[in-house]
Amino acid sequence: MKLTLSGLTLAYPGQPPVLNGIDLQIESGETVALMGANGSGKTSLLLSLVGILPASGTIRLDSTALSKKTATFFRQHIGMVFQNPDDQLFSPSIWEDVAFGLENMSLPEDEIRDRVDTLLHELGLAHLKDRTPHDLSGGEKKIAALATVLVMKPDLIMLDEPTAFLDMRARKRLENALRDIPQAMLITTHDARFAARMCRRAVLLDSGKVAADGETETLLRDKALTERCGVDALE
Amino acid sequence: MKQPAPASLEQCALQNGPIHRIDPALKLLMMLAFECCVISCAPEQICLLPVYLVALLIIGTIARISPGLFFRRLALALPFAFFTGIWGCFYDHYPATLMGFTITRGELSFLSILLRTALCVGCVLIYAGTTRISMMAAGMRRLHIPQEIVSIFELMWRYLSVLTDEARNVRTAWMLRNGSANGISLKYFGSLLGGILVRSIDRAQQIHTAMICRGYPAASRAASPSKIRPAECIGAAAFTASCILYRVLA
């Protein structure tokens, strides 16, 4: 799997562009942190990659370019975990929520059952499968939201602020779950230490442009760069 | 360890009982047949209704729907029937008999409306308590109900919880800043209601985006129930035929 973005631009009429000529490549198995100040275009970039926001420029997954016709293909191969798990979990039970994506993929019922049960067991959520999402703690909701995407076995998983609102224990549990994921990941975060622990590579955005792309530790120790991009520096 | 009783019909629907296993399309047809038979009973035929009530209670028991939950939900619908039917008592004083007692035709009509409403709503509650939402939608698709209607049904169900959540949050925020107040005063009600609506639309959009990201709406969704077994067809046909025959012959 190779995701290639060239000249990605997104603008709303009468406003400065949210994304301004982004060039980026993500290879199979890579974990990349996408960092920047609030409003720098992180979430917009993620939503553009699955065709939710109509950006100009080219987005390619291997040799397939994103278009209206291929949007479904992209959504099957690129999964997105939203910042607020309440937006992601909308079914009456966790089991049904995790099965939702597979049902849309038209898989046979037996396979859906197998995949959902196995994943819930692996993530330690099996005992919660019949619970309504509202009953879960913040940490459990985050893991459940991750499960809804993991079960579809995408090539790239995008996580929007995965550690937001989590306490230390829930963060560790989420980190452990993320470490076991073999797929490529694109993680937006404001948490510099989390980014340094999880991602070897970071991309820093500033006003819709890529301000820096390189090794996470190196970039986040550059005080001038982090100051300019509005992200926390590593101590 | 004893399992806690389901707190909602959605949780009841996750159980695996004999009624749960019936194909959702067949259940939908059986429900419609039952309701048509009940609704078509004239007030003078009120004596037919207890048999339907017994049938409904037996099905509810087999479906393991908690009686407390069932009657609480049923009670929500009855005030509407009460206020619809009560007016007949004031205007229609023509005499009628019920089990040997002389009452007015308005009162007979009132009792009939109450009982028929209870039976129809009860039947819907049992359907909701034995069928998951995704399976209800799959059943509707199997019956070739237009996709647009099925989608509206699915989305309405999902957004209902969004609206309730937002309303709860706004109410809590209001109460926290209005410790002494018992409720939301009319002066602020309009603006709070508007706020709830705007926030609900925002959240509904987010949820819709999350659904699209996971492939919704797919051309053909696999939440389709497995093939209908002959035994299910025979059972459903027998139930439907009994309802209709009883209605026609009794």
Q: Sheet harboring A156-160: ordered strands across?
A: A78-81, A156-160, A184-188, A31-36, A201-206, A209-215
Handedness of CA B207, B212, B216, B219 (dihedral sign): positive
* pLDDT at res. B77: 87
* pLDDT at res. B52: 94
Is there a contact between B209 and A86 if contact means CB atoms under 8 Å apart?
no
* pLDDT at res. B3: 58
d(CA A70, CA A67): 5
In chain A, the percentage of residues whose pLDDT exceeds 90 is: 73
Count of other CB atoms within 10 angstroms of residue B211? 20
Give the chain A residue whose CA is nearest to the CA of B135: A96
Fill in the amino acid letter for A13. P
Q: Across residues A167-183, what is the average pLDDT? A: 92
Interval A88-122: pLDDT, tens: 888 878 998 899 889 888 888 889 999 999 999 99
**Chain B closest-CA separation from residue A91 CA (Å):** 7
Is B132 within 8 Å of A100 (Cβ atoms)?
A: no
* pLDDT at res. B2: 54
Establish whether this prediction's ipTM goes over 0.85.
Answer: no
For the ranges A194-203, B12-21, B115-124, B175-184, the lowest mean pLDDT is seen at B175-184
pLDDT confidence band for B180 (50 / 70 / 90): low
Q: Residue B200 above 60 pLDDT? A: yes
Residue B8, Cβ density class (10 Å: 0-12 exposed, 13-18 middle, ≥19 buried) = middle
d(CA B119, CA B40): 12
**What value does the CA radius of gyration of chain A take, rounded to a whole number of Å?**
18
* pLDDT at res. B22: 92
**Chain A closest-CA separation from residue B11 CA (Å):** 7
d(CA A38, CA A207): 10
pLDDT confidence band for A185 (50 / 70 / 90): very high
Is there a contact between A90 and B207 if contact means CB atoms under 8 Å apart?
yes
* pLDDT at res. B98: 84
Q: Residue B223 above 90 pLDDT? A: no
**Chain B closest-CA separation from residue A107 CA (Å):** 6
* pLDDT at res. B238: 94
pLDDT confidence band for A34 (50 / 70 / 90): very high
For the ranges A43-57, A160-174, B54-68, B165-179, the lowest mean pLDDT is seen at B165-179
The SS3 of residue A25 is strand
For the ranges B42-46, B113-117, B122-126, the lowest mean pLDDT is seen at B42-46
pLDDT confidence band for A188 (50 / 70 / 90): very high
* pLDDT at res. B218: 62
Is there a contact between A95 and B14 if contact means CB atoms under 8 Å apart?
yes
Fill in the amino acid letter for A174. L
Record the pTM: 0.73
Is there a contact between A132 and B158 if contact means CB atoms under 8 Å apart?
no
Interval B135-151: pLDDT, tens: 898 899 899 999 888 88
Cis check: omega of the bond before A182, within 30 degrees of 0:
no
**Beta bridge partner(s), residue A201:** A32, A215
Q: Residue A8 above 90 pLDDT? A: yes
In chain B, the percentage of residues whose pLDDT exceeds 70 is: 92
Interval B43-90: pLDDT, tens: 989 999 999 999 999 999 999 898 898 999 999 889 999 999 999 889
Is there a contact between A72 and B11 if contact means CB atoms under 8 Å apart?
no
Mark out chain B residues that contact chain A at CB-CB < 8 A. 8, 10-11, 13-14, 132-134, 158, 161-162, 165, 203, 206-207, 209-226
Is A52 within 8 Å of B213 (Cβ atoms)?
A: yes
**Beta bridge partner(s), residue A9:** A20, A56
pLDDT confidence band for A159 (50 / 70 / 90): very high
The SS3 of residue B41 is coil
Q: Residue B181 above 60 pLDDT? A: no
Bigger pLDDT: A72 or A58? Answer: A58
- Secondary structure (DSSP) of A191-219: -HHHHHHH-SEEEEEETTEEEEEEEHHHH
Mean pLDDT for all residues in chain A? 92
d(CA B145, CA A169): 48
Residue A53, Cβ density class (10 Å: 0-12 exposed, 13-18 middle, ≥19 buried) = middle
Which residues of chain B does A47 touch, with a Cβ-Cβ cutoff of 8 Å?
Answer: 209
**Chain B closest-CA separation from residue A213 CA (Å):** 27
* pLDDT at res. B11: 79
* pLDDT at res. B203: 82
Q: What residues have CB less than 8 Å from A95, skipping those under 6 apart?
A: A116, A120, A129, A130, B14
* pLDDT at res. B242: 94
Count of other CB atoms within 10 angstroms of residue B237? 14
Q: Residue B219 above 80 pLDDT? A: no
* pLDDT at res. B34: 96
Q: Which of A129, A128, A118, A126 is nearest to A153 (CA)?
A: A118
pLDDT confidence band for B224 (50 / 70 / 90): low
Q: Across residues B169-185, what is the average pLDDT? A: 70
